[in-house]
Amino acid sequence: MTRFLLLLGAALLPALAQAQGLAKATFAVGCFWCAEEAFDKVPGVVSTVSGYTGGHIKDPGYALVSTGRTGHTEAVQLTYDPSKVSYQKLLDAFWLNHDPTALDHQFCDYGSQYRPGVFYHDAEQKRLAEASKAKWQKEKPFKGEIVTPIEAASEFWRAEEYHQDYYKKNPARYKFYVTGCGRYARLDELWGNYRSK
């Protein structure tokens, strides 16, 4: 029953958000716990939801996605207020919070379920995402090529409740994971001063 109510609420959220003048964006930066932490810090982001996208089976769970055989990647879907934050600003946060030189892994997490990506919801998001990728390919402070894909958004499946807001619910475990995984160290190595702007 709880799962049904969560799914029903998730299904109603887009209509409610649109009525309030809010918009939707979907990004993958590796572990979705880290994606929530990164985007929750952006003023104008109303909510973040961890989930799975880009796969070929319906309503996958963590155990299935973790096999790497469903085609899904861990992702986060944002609801944001365009009057307070632009999609361009969200794209900047996206680039600076993942390793764009890595395709089927991020940091210490390996497998296609950790592949990064921009999942655009309309033609304007696609245009802005491609322009943003081109900009960072020119400006990047590192030598490697940017290989992060930009794809049309497909169905987004909400992850299990224990994954939602994991970094808030389990701060000590989260800190141990993110530090041990070398996430921040690698981001600082890649992006340098851009991360502090």
- Full set of structural domains in the chain with CATH: 2-196 (3.30.1060.10)
Residue 85: per-residue pLDDT: 98
| Whether the predicted model's global pTM rises above the 0.75 cut | yes
Residue 3: per-residue pLDDT: 52
Residues catalogued as catalytic: 31
Q: Which amino acid is present at 175?
A: K
In the chain (197 residues long), the average pLDDT of successive 10-residue segments reads 52 58 97 98 98 96 96 98 98 98 96 98 98 97 96 98 98 97 97 88
Residue 20: per-residue pLDDT: 78
Distance of alpha carbon 194 from the chain centroid: 19
Nearest to 68 by CA among 35, 33, 104, 36: 104
